[in-house]
Structure 1
Amino acid sequence: MAGAGGPAGYRARLDALMAERGAWPEDSPWLRAAFAELPRHRFAPERLWRWNGRSYGPVELAGDPDGWYAELYSDADAAAVTRLTDGRPSSSLSAPSVVADMLDSLRLEPGHRVWDVGTGQGWTAALAAWRAGPGLVVSTEVDDQLAAFARDRLAAAGLDVEVRVADGTSAEVPEGRQVDRLHATYAVETVPWSWVAAVRPGGRIVYPWGRLGYAALTVADDGARAHGWVHGLARFMGDRSGPVQPSAGYSAFTAVRGDAEPEHCRVLDRDPAGLEDWHLRFALRVAVPDAVLFTCQGEDGPVALIHDGDRSWAEVLPRAGAGPVLLQGGPRRIGDELIAAWSQWEALGRPDLYDYGVTVTPDSQWAWHGDPDTGARWPIGAPRRATR
């Protein structure tokens, strides 16, 4: 038995932490009750994985119950890694605060039919079924072992949820019937049109958008498009059938740069510490979505390391007694692209991430600022150039 009050003690502290931070959505009070009845640990494998600063090490329920429960309940904003592939996380239980906010964004009501895309361990499908009702949630999972695990845990919880083995990115709507809500648990840069076609007019789609953030779309009355606002920040594992997302961190940057010398250097008129603003970081994500940005502390202040996962890289370095410098190398000037996007963000009035949205049609997708029809926009899944 875990110490510190046992599982109930860990759960109570997480509940209190969520309440203290205002992380329980006021518009969806059902979520707090659902979290209490379907606690996270009931959907966790007996081995979790914890980052120690260099690599992931196992945390076993049998050998370290306190560590295991702490991994699940000590941080409202942390995902619990449940599987590694080639030393990198390939499955997880999403952060409690993010799960609560995304399900709140779904505007889920009793009687709604739900397609849960990416079952994982089955926790979000369980929460959706608690709200929607028995037999109304169908979940798809590409990994047959994960699907089997989730089926067992859902059945043990007494929930009537169907779990199918399928690639949700390319699968058609379950049973050929449109659903009221679609909730995705893995990140896609472009929304499959099959997801929009699967949801009835007026229905909602909530999904993690690419490397950073999540959005909630409403399907238009004529079914010809879906659009909606960005609802928050989070990092999710990517679509297994899509391109591999470049890693952040120093080692990923050095893998791209290697021992190459800068090909271009210029002095900047802005403080690299500004790149620690998450609203700016999100604006850069919108404008240059394939740029990976990592900040760390250098001798003279914050350092920004940027790369595209291929051959192009940039560094923004502070200098004592002088202006910061931008160094770049590779076939594209990825640093210049980010500085231009930073200037555009300032010209737009330094908007919050919640001032951005996404529109999806059968033929194209774009992000926009302020207004879906008249605001600045950036094409998704195509070369980027902001326009009016």
Structure 2
Amino acid sequence: MDTEARRWADHMEASGCWPDSSMWIRPAMLERAPRHEYAPDLVWVWNGDQWAAVERTTEPDQWAAAIYGSPYDSTITQITDSLPSSSLSCGSVVADMLDSLRLAPGDRVLELGAGLGWNAALLALQAGPGHVTSVEVDATLAAEARKRLDAAGLGVDVHAGDGAAGWLAGAPYDRIIATYAVETVPWTWVEQTRPGGRIVTPWGRLGHVALTVADDGQSASGWVQGLGMFMPSRGVDQGREWDQIPRNGQVETESPFPRAVEGLADSSLLFALRVLLPDIRITSRTDRSPMAWVHDGYSSWATISVTGPEGGAAVASQGGPRRLVDEIAVGWERWVHAGSPSLYDFGMTRTPDAQYLWVEDGEGGRQRWEPLQSSHHQSDQAA
């Protein structure tokens, strides 16, 4: 365990994952509340076909490797209906989100999504005993997190409940942080944060935002802070994985793709496409022959690859009710036409009635970015 933990810490260092502006995070994550102390004896790893259990007592080396993989890997700690439903988030994102929270000693913090308590422990080490409240929808996980946090003497108040409702009894909070992704930031969270307070939450399973509540409490705005994949809140339809998309009876078409496949690894382009095409999922590789896999989680899919020698033309194959490659091409052009804004040029505003993303236009104005189409077409859902 010590060897794996040291290797993980060194990788975090080499990758620049320890934030200079929040020096408390590194010792908290490595020494005061190490990751493995909040991991269950049974974790899950993907073996290429399914999620396979790894038991600490019988496979200690494999278990340690699953806990301390890459700084960019999460550790799956619970499977529900054959899908991951709880995890220890990847260390790089945990550190980045804690840094984005701008947490100070004495701040009152509400955490949504306790899991097994690791993030709550880190919050309490900075905010102080009695200053952190955590809500977890799974009563079994909540009880386990409470047990671990009580044993550590961290004074975290853990409740079983729906995170979307916040926890009114402790409001107002100086800081709110969620450990699961939301499509729309619950207005309840804004109402339970003091004016000038800060909300950090994953959005749409591809990034996280930090919002500051306005002085009048009637809005919250802020910037996208970084990328990262997150589980959605419980009950949200996660759709199908790439290899689960039905192909029987589908007509596959092939056509040239007008841009370089490698571009689909650009984090700023990926985020822009996430805003414009919310339900399209894209993964890619650039280490060998460049290739991208695209699907909508239901019934449409595509691959984009390079044929022939290096630098050759890209070809797209696609099937299903939607033409996903055509939609991506339109979204890509929209991003280029807007000046190819960076991931960090995007911001979000939440009001009582609406939520929208925007990019500053260079003159102090904000240009809204709206989806090019509605998510989860009815025809796809029925397939």
- With the length of structure 1 as denominator, give the TM-score of the two structures: 0.88
Residues 277 and 372 of structure 2 are in contact (CA less than 8 Å); yes or no, is this contact kept in structure 1?
no
2:381 aligned residue? none
1:365-376 maps to which residues of 2 (within 5 A)?
365-370=355-360, 374-376=365-367
Residue 221, structure 1, aligned to residue 215, structure 2: yes
* 1:18-29 matches, cutoff 5 A: 18-29=12-23
Instruction: State the one-letter code of the partner of 1:79.
Output: S
Measured after TM superposition, the shift of residue 380 of structure 1 is 7.0
> Structure 1 275/222 Cα, relative in aligned 2: closer, same or farther at 3 Å?
same
Shift of 1:144: 0.6
Q: For each residue in 1:105-129, what CA deviation from the matched residue of structure 2 results, as whole angstroms up to 9, or x when unmatched?
A: 0000011110000000101011101
- Which whole-Å CA distance do the structure 2 matches of 1:64 and 1:267 have between them? 48
Match of 2:188 among 191, 194, 197: 194
* Partners of 1:9 and 1:359 in 2: CA distance: 44
Q: Which residue of 2 aligns with 1:270?
A: 259
Contact 2:201–2:210 (CA under 8 A) maintained in structure 1:
yes
Aligned length: 371
| Alignment CA distance shift 1:302-1:258 (3 Å) | farther
1:380 & 1:147 partners in 2: Cα distance? 36
Q: Does 1:352 align with 2:346?
A: no
User: Does residue 309 of the first structure (1) align with residue 291 of the second (2)?
Assistant: no
In the alignment, the residues of structure 2 paired with residue 67 and residue 328 of structure 1 have an alpha-carbon distance, to the nearest angstrom, of 38
Q: Deviations over 1:127-147 (max 9, x none)?
A: 101111111111000101000
Q: Which residue of 2 aligns with 1:3?
A: none
Are 1:78 and 2:73 counterparts?
yes
Q: 1:19–1:330: structure 2 CA closer, same or farther, 3 Å change rule?
A: closer
Cα distance change, pair 363–380 in 1 and its aligned pair in 2 (3 A):
farther
1:177 Cα deviation after fit: 2.1
The secondary structure found in structure 1 opposite 2:163 is coil
Deviation at 1:97, TM superposition (A): 1.3
Pick the aligned partner of 2:120 from 118, 125, 130.
125
Q: Percent identity?
A: 47
* In 1, Cα distance between equivalents of 2:356 and 2:369: 5
Range 272-281 or range 92-101, more displaced: 272-281
**SS of structure 2 residue aligned to 1:306:** strand
Mapped pair 1:378 → 2:369: yes
Between the aligned partners of 2:315 and 2:8, the Cα distance in structure 1 is 43
For 1:215 and 1:44, the matched residues in 2 are separated by: 26
Deviation of 1:59 after TM superposition, in Å, equals 1.7
- With over 3 angstroms needed to count, the CA separation of the structure-2 counterparts of 1:47 and 1:176, relative to structure 1, is closer
1:113 to 108, 111, 127: 108
Which runs of 5 or more structure 1 residues have no equivalent in the other structure? 1-6
Cα distance in structure 1, aligned partners of 2:298 and 2:351: 30
- Structure 2 CA distance for aligned equivalents of residues 259 and 295 of structure 1: 26
Cα gap change, 1:310/1:21 in structure 2, threshold over 3 Å: closer, same or farther? Answer: closer
Deviations 1:188-214 (A, max 9, x none): 111111111111111111111112111
* Cα distance between partner residues in 2 of 1:234 and 1:327: 27
1:283-311 CA deviation, whole Å, 9 max, x = no partner?
11111011122336899x43433222233
Deviation at 1:317, TM superposition (A): 4.4
Aligned residue in 1 for 2:379: none
Q: Matched residue of 2:221: which SS?
A: strand
Give the deviation of 1:84 after TM superposition.
Answer: 1.1
The whole-number CA distance in structure 2 between the counterparts of 1:225 and 1:281 is 27
- The one-letter amino acid paired with 1:27 is S
Instruction: Note the C-alpha offset of 1:78.
Output: 1.1
Could you say which residue in structure 1 is the equivalent of 2:380?
A: none
| Cα distance in 2 for residues equivalent to 1:126 and 1:380 | 37
Bigger Cα displacement from structure 2, 65-74 vs 279-288: 65-74
1:166-187, Cα deviation, whole Å (9 max, x unpaired)? 0111x24331521000010001
| Unmatched segments (≥5 aa) in structure 2 | 376-383
Q: Which moved more, 1:362-371 or 1:305-314?
A: 305-314
CA deviations on 1:350-383 (whole Å, 9 max, x unpaired) are 2321111111111111111235973432247984
SS at match of 1:83: strand
- Map of 1:362 onto structure 2: 352
